[in-house]
Copies of this chain bind each other. A is one copy, B any other.
């Protein structure tokens, strides 16, 4: 890029930058730089009006943008001002959820994507886990077992422990980005497929798949303990496939099978 003609050097097309954008950028930069840590408060809107020397609507539009990005949260009547939330995976979840709802991708793709992310979490976690991770995972698997042996079953607590299990594995992978994405996809899947799950529970075979799921999780845990990443990854993929495939039409199922490896 060092060989451009002199006439083209130094000048770039200038696009108008809106006032609310500059306000939002300044605040976002402070948040990302850590100067406004999560939990801290922004000044009140009318105070920001004075500091930035713009109208209140400009301030409000900037705050709306930040809020829709999940960086801040505001509450009417709060004398402390808007609360800084910091970077969170919620934006990712939202964006993924939107993609999942749009014609751009199908539920099957969402599930396949989750198979990929989960499997890679397992693979990495098998190498990098700590004893503490294993302890927590064992505990969660036990919790899941209790939920299924209890009468009546407690599918809510079960799902909670299940989600927690995946979250711990993702964190054990040592890659926060992977963990955040895996969580976002997990949330999106749950949000998109929830209706199916409820129906399946009502069909009465809830105990059956919960039991199978517990077995799966224990096998995965054993593979993690043995540092067998490939096996853990394969087991994770199979578990997801078995769980979701029955609810999908054949073409989708075939595509999902391609991700089984």
Q: B-contacting residues of A (Cβ < 8 Å)?
A: 1-3, 16, 20, 28, 32, 34, 57, 60-61, 64-65, 68-69, 76, 86-87, 89, 91-92, 94-96, 98-105, 109-110, 112-113, 116-117, 120, 123-124, 127-128, 152, 155-156, 174-178, 180-181, 198, 201-202, 229, 255, 258-259, 261
Contacts and interface: CB of A to CB of B under 8 A. Distances in A.
21 contacts: A1-B156, A1-B201, A16-B76, A32-B98, A57-B57, A57-B60, A69-B94, A87-B99, A92-B99, A95-B95, A99-B176, A99-B180, A104-B176, A104-B177, A105-B175, A105-B180, A109-B176, A109-B177, A113-B181, A128-B258, A174-B255
B112 A180 contact: no
- The SS class assigned to the A binding surface is helix
Question: Which 8 residue pairs spanning A and B have beta carbons closest together?
Answer: A87-B102, A91-B95, A105-B177, A65-B68, A116-B120, A109-B177, A105-B176, A61-B64
A214 to B, nearest CB: 19
A88 to B, nearest CB: 9
A164 B91 CA distance: 27
Contact of A112 (B86, B117, B175): B175
Given A1-B156, A104-B176, A229-B261, 17 more contacts: A1-B155, A16-B76, A32-B98, A64-B64, A64-B65, A65-B65, A87-B99, A89-B99, A91-B98, A99-B176, A109-B176, A109-B178, A110-B177, A113-B177, A113-B181, A116-B120, A120-B120
